[in-house]
Amino acid sequence: MMENKTIAFACDHGGFSLKEPILAYLKGQGWDVIDFGTWSDERCDYPQYAEPACRAVTEGKASLAVLVCGTGIGMSLAANKIRGIRAACCSEPYSAEMTRRHNDANVLCIGARVVGEGLALTILEAFLTHAFEGGRHAGRVAMLRELEDRF
Ligand code: RB5
């Protein structure tokens, strides 16, 4: 489905508990993972981890990114500051599917203190196995890009 099966990953200490299962899942599905940390549960600052993972997406080194923090919200706020990023914070699979199909989201954010491992992987699967539908949604995504130019 994805031409470039390379995905960026980053988490902070709040998301660290999901790192290993998410990386194992991604590798098992044939994704090459660029790991931007963090590498322990030592306290750290999520914007510093969101930025390089999102940069990999905007520079075309990865087609998508997965960001995990405690709630998923801090990561999504940071990611959505970056031109060209459309990050969705999801805690169930329907939203993860629809944000690919309708919003062409290129970053999935998950809260490790919100969802357990099983649900997180189901959300991730929904995100990775659906594609942007284009059509009427393409114009709306173009409007999102225009918003970036106006501020
Ligand atoms: C860290 O305690 C926590 O604030 C962070 O992981 C994230 O949930 C922020 O949105």
Active site residue 109: no
Ligand 1 pocket residue status of 49, Cβ below 6 Å:
no
Among 54, 69, 90, 109, the active-site one is 69
What is the topology classification, in CATH, of domain 6-150? Ribose 5-phosphate Isomerase B; Chain: A, (3.40.1400)
The label of the residue with tokens 């299962």 reads 21
Ligand 1 pocket residue status of 95, Cβ below 6 Å:
no
Answer yes or no: is pLDDT of 3 > 70: no
Backbone phi, then psi, for 7, in 5-degree steps? -130, 140
How much of the chain exceeds pLDDT 70, in percent? 98
Ligand 1 pocket residue status of 74, Cβ below 6 Å:
yes
Instruction: Supply the Cα-derived Rg of the chain in whole angstroms.
Output: 14
Prediction pTM value:
0.97
To the nearest whole number, what is the mean pLDDT of the chain?
Answer: 97
